[in-house]
Structure 1
Amino acid sequence: MSDKITSIVGARPRGHGEAVARILSLAAAPTFAIMALIAAAAPADMLCAAMQGPLSLQGMVPMYALMSAFHLAPWLRLVR
């Protein structure tokens, strides 16, 4: 089990909690991206749809997209 976690996180962590934190940090960006896709595919409430334009920055989709972008740092460190 320890070797499997080490291969996922890259460097050998000091403790189990550190490995879990690193895995969770890698899970944040894809989770928010999936939530943005689900929110975009979900039918909008009629009242909310009437108040928003086609390129509006209001709503859940832009929020999840921004959260996904802000949580990309662990992925960029992993690639680098």
Structure 2
Amino acid sequence: MPTTGGGYAGAPGVNAVSRGVADWLCLAAAPSFAFMALLTAFAGGADMICLAAQDASPFSGMTVMYVLMSVFHSAPWVRLIVSRRSGTARGL
């Protein structure tokens, strides 16, 4: 079966391996954004350099964006937890 991107259509297990890697890679986004939110909140972001933002809350700007990105990317974690509790894990 030919592919359009010059991939490895004939190699056995490559599609399964890449799907497994993608399943685990999608789990990396939410913790990464959560860590960046904590780092920005406690270490100060680039907006703290600005003199106008001296009295601003540390929970504004980039911190809020990172928290929202973490929430939006938490769906794979919810699916993993639900599948583990129901006993129907998809190979994760």
Q: Tell me if TM exceeds 0.5.
A: yes
Q: Counterparts of 2:52 and 2:40 in 1: how far apart (Å)?
A: 13
Counterpart for residue 72 of structure 1: 74
After the TM superposition, which of the residue ranges 14-23 and 28-37 deviates more from structure 2?
Answer: 14-23
Alignment of 1:45 onto 2:46: no
After TM superposition, the structure 1 = structure 2 runs for residues 2-17 of structure 1, keeping only pairs within 5 Å, are: 15-17=16-18
TM-score, length basis structure 1: 0.68
Q: CA RMSD in A?
A: 2.1
Q: Counterparts of 2:72 and 2:52 in 1: how far apart (Å)?
A: 26
Identity across aligned pairs (percent)?
Answer: 48
Q: Counterparts of 1:78 and 1:61 in 2: how far apart (Å)?
A: 26
Alignment of 1:30 onto 2:38: no
Q: Counterparts of 1:33 and 1:65 in 2: how far apart (Å)?
A: 6
Q: Counterparts of 1:60 and 1:22 in 2: how far apart (Å)?
A: 27
Larger Rg: 2
Task: Give 1:49 deviation, angstroms.
Answer: 2.1
Task: Give 1:31 deviation, angstroms.
Answer: 0.5
Provide runs of 4+ in structure 1 moved above 6 Å.
none
Structure 2: unaligned runs, 5 residues or longer: 1-14, 83-92
